[in-house]
Amino acid sequence: RNTRGYNTPVRSPDNKWVLLYPRVPIGWIETPDPKRLSDLKRFLESEKNFDLPGDVGWGFIDPYNAGKEMSRMARLALIAEKLGFMDIAHSFANKVTVYLSVWLDCKSANALIFDKSWGGMVSCGCTYVWNEKEKKAHCANNAKDFECPVLKDVN
């Protein structure tokens, strides 16, 4: 179901719908410009200790923004691998695995849930409470007990 009504399913003889995409080279994963290697290595070395802020890494944030941050880390892992910094590449890849599992293993404070009204996966949402001492808001609801703002107002 969507905003226009119910979807008509696609039928095929073998009940499969295969999308084929041609492989297109991605510039920053392919061979880097030799003139920029020293700059890339210096930048990567300066970023090797990059980690996600606690609220992002442990799911106290909406999944869209968390995904963008994890994507940055995954991109750094690919660049490190291409440049031969395997220890940095493995470090980033391990962190991405841990942070993704927070969402995929339902350990996030802002859990992914199925929206029965519209269909599809949505995040639980957060009831933010301002922390004056830290000067930032925290997700105060308990998604594990389905204290989800998104379930209170499905529209």
- Report the chain's mean pLDDT, rounded to a whole number: 79
- Give the pLDDT confidence score for residue 114 in this predicted structure: 78
User: In the structure, what pLDDT confidence band is assigned to residue 155 with cuts at 50, 70 and 90?
Assistant: low
DSSP-assigned beta bridge partners for residue 138: 129
User: In the structure, what pLDDT confidence band is assigned to residue 94 with cuts at 50, 70 and 90?
Assistant: very high
- The tokens of 57 are what? 């890494």
Higher per-residue pLDDT: 46 or 103: 46
Percent of the chain with pLDDT over 90: 16
User: In the structure, what pLDDT confidence band is assigned to residue 145 with cuts at 50, 70 and 90?
Assistant: low
Is the pLDDT confidence value at 116 over 70?
A: yes
What does the buried/exposed string (b/e) look like for 6-38 if buried means 16 or more CB atoms within 10 Å of the residue's CB? eeeeeeeeeeeeeeeeeeeeeeeeeebeeeeee
- Give the pLDDT confidence score for residue 61 in this predicted structure: 80
Tell me the per-residue pLDDT of 32-83, one tens digit each, with 9 for 90 and over.
Answer: 788 988 998 899 999 889 999 888 888 878 888 888 999 999 989 988 988 8
